């Protein structure tokens, strides 16, 4: 019986192949179709001709068309991205957002009470300037000062702060929304956690030279901000913990409230948070950059001073995780800002070696377009080498929320270093973050984190703290 069935299955298979061939040759669509989820155009079916068959072009184009039109392609892509996110192969924060948590659930829980007490007991380090770089590093022994013409008239760097008593401050600090007649405390942070967080920032700031500054901001995700954006009656969007960081941080530590900076922009109808992605838009980043760079002693450049490339349809991580006609109709616009001078982005791959990475990976699917800026946050250490005549260097400590800030900071520094504490690997980098700050004569540090990695989370309190050493 089995042998008798062989001819039947052979004929059936040959018939299916013949039908597929006829469909491809004569009936398949000859027009390319746009695919928003991948931000590209899917291949059109090739035209059958003797020349195409002889040259082999028909077979190549047919293979491309078949791979672009696999049944259930979109569903398979979404499933693949979810698996990769859960395994941290791609967008780490996106996986956390998908899981619906506010803690860093993929690596550890929030920092516990004993660790919190230990952080609060950590003595404040003294900021001292350094004269020489670590042996063998290709940087000058001294970092020349910027010419006077490059310095802004205001503000004054590192103003002295008045002494504060923690007992005079409230015990809790919310991220607050008030709209359409109702009030919401979206997150509420305890004072001792915020003070411990500030202690870690102080330890970073203590590694800087006397004229160095650390500027911090926490960015609410679009899930929070867009509740306010879509409200009819907007009353308040504020974040209280930054005031505590500003008051109790070292003299060269400053905090900017992203919520306070961008609340007037929301009222004015400006496009500062994505609709289909968890991040702020580059315009939102730019507005907060202006405040942060002033605190570092520079005058911000204008929006038009950047090269701006616009992608009209950006469907981000929210659409990827829950595709819907509603979000599809509200596709975002992605403005990609880059300096007008040459910048080379280098990712350290091993001690003393690096590989050049693209400014933006054009092969990335649409929903990853923001998070793959500058290679994404996954590398152990990356920096931008800027051909702008500047001598100062800065460090950006960030999750994916700070990536769009890097090209803006490049306007003011000869090198902009950036790293994500979750992915730091001392063996690959060949030094601790503290040693890298000294090796490259880092003058200023910018700490930019999303609300998932803020005051209660291990991102700063445990991961960054342990990497600094004691």
pTM over 0.75: no
The whole-chain average pLDDT of the chain stands at 78
Domain range list for the chain: 2-70, 114-468
**Angle formed at CA 84 by CA 80 and CA 86, multiple of 5 degrees:** 120
For residue 35, the cross-strand partners are 40
Q: Phi and psi at residue 33, in whole multiples of 5°?
A: -120, 140
- Structure-block tokens of residue 343: 């910048």
Please report how the helices 258-267 and 282-295 are oriented relative to each other, as an axis angle in degrees rounded to 10. Answer: 130
Q: Are 252 and 208 in contact (CB under 8 A)?
A: yes
| Residue among 407, 307, 387 nearest 341 (CA) | 387
Banded pLDDT at 437 (limits 50, 70, 90) = very high
- At residue 20, does pLDDT exceed 70? no
Order of strands, edge to edge, in the sheet holding 182-190? 182-190, 172-179, 234-239
pLDDT tens figures, 360-369: 766 666 666 6
pLDDT tens figures, 261-309: 999 999 999 999 999 888 999 999 999 999 999 999 999 999 999 999 8
d(CA 221, CA 193): 20
- Structure-block tokens of residue 173: 């600090």
Q: Is the dihedral of CA 286, 442, 127, 402 positive or negative?
A: positive
d(CA 199, CA 413): 26
Angstrom CA distances, 270 to 75, 107, 284, 339, 466, stand at 34, 36, 9, 23, 40
d(CA 95, CA 80): 13
- Structure-block tokens of residue 253: 């530590």
Report, as an integer, the average pLDDT of 336-340. Answer: 91
pLDDT tens figures, 93-137: 333 333 333 333 333 356 767 766 777 775 543 333 333 333 333
pLDDT tens figures, 34-92: 454 444 455 667 777 777 677 667 767 776 666 666 666 655 655 654 454 444 333 33
Instruction: Tokens 């802004």: give the residue.
Output: 152
Q: Are 177 and 184 in contact (CB under 8 A)?
A: yes
DSSP 266: H
pLDDT tens figures, 154-198: 344 556 788 888 899 999 999 999 999 999 999 899 999 999 999
d(CA 317, CA 320): 5
Contacting residues for 458 by C-beta, under 8 A, at least 6 apart: 104, 107, 108, 109, 110, 111
pLDDT tens figures, 205-260: 999 999 999 999 999 999 999 999 999 999 999 999 999 999 999 999 999 999 99
* Residues above pLDDT 70, as percent of the chain: 65
- Burial class of 442 by CB neighbour count within 10 A (0 to 12, 13 to 18, 19+): buried
**Angle formed at CA 42 by CA 41 and CA 44, multiple of 5 degrees:** 115
Q: Are 292 and 213 in contact (CB under 8 A)?
A: no
Chain centre distance of CA 462: 20
Q: Are 440 and 431 in contact (CB under 8 A)?
A: no
Q: Are 429 and 383 in contact (CB under 8 A)?
A: no
DSSP 461: I
Angstrom CA distances, 194 to 121, 204, 242, stand at 14, 16, 9
d(CA 63, CA 325): 31
d(CA 276, CA 270): 16
d(CA 357, CA 264): 36
């Amino acid at each position: 019986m089995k042998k008798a069935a062989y001819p039947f299955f052979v004929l059936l298979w040959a018939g299916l192949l013949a039908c597929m061939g006829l469909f491809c040759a004569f009936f398949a669509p000859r027009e390319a179709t746009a695919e928003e989820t991948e931000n590209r155009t899917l291949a059109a079916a090739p035209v059958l001709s003797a020349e195409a068959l002889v040259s082999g072009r028909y077979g190549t184009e047919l293979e491309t068309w078949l791979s672009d039109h696999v049944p259930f392609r979109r569903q398979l892509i979404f499933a693949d991205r979810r698996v990769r996110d859960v395994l941290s192969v791609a967008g780490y924060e996106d996986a956390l957002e998908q899981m619906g948590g506010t803690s860093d659930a993929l690596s550890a829980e929030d920092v516990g009470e004993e660790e919190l007490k230990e952080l609060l007991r950590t003595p404040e380090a003294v900021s001292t300037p350094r004269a020489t770089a670590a042996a063998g590093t290709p940087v000058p022994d001294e970092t020349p000062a910027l010419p006077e013409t490059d310095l802004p008239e205001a503000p004054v760097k590192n103003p002295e702060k008045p002494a504060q008593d923690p007992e005079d401050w409230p015990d809790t600090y919310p991220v607050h929304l008030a709209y359409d007649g109702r009030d919401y405390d979206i997150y509420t942070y305890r004072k001792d956690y915020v003070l411990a967080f500030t202690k870690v920032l102080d330890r970073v700031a203590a590694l800087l030279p006397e004229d160095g500054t650390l500027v911090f901001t926490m960015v609410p995700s679009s899930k929070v901000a867009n509740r306010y954006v879509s409200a009819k009656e907007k009353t308040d969007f504020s974040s209280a913990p930054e005031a505590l960081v500003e008051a109790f941080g070292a003299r060269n530590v400053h905090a900017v409230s992203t919520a306070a900076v961008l609340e007037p922009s929301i009222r004015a109808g400006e496009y500062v948070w994505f609709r289909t992605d968890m991040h702020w838009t580059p315009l939102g980043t730019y507005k907060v950059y202006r405040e942060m760079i002033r605190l570092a002693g520079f005058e911000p450049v204008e929006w038009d001073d950047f090269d701006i490339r616009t992608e009209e349809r950006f469907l981000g991580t929210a659409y990827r995780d829950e595709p819907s006609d509603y979000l599809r109709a509200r596709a975002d616009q992605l403005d990609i800002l880059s300096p007008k001078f040459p910048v080379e982005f280098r990712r350290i791959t091993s001690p003393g070696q690096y590989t050049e990475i693209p400014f933006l990976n054009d092969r990335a699917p649409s929903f990853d377009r923001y998070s793959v800026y500058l290679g994404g946050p996954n590398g152990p250490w990356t920096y931008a080498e800027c051909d702008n005549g500047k001598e100062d260097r800065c460090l950006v400590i960030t999750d994916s929320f700070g990536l769009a800030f890097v090209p803006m900071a490049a306007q003011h520094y000869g090198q902009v270093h950036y790293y994500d504490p979750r992915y730091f690997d001392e063996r690959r980098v060949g030094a601790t973050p503290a040693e890298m700050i000294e090796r490259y004569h880092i003058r200023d540090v910018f700490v930019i984190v999303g609300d998932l990695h803020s005051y209660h989370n291990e991102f700063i309190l445990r991961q960054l703290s342990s990497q600094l050493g004691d």
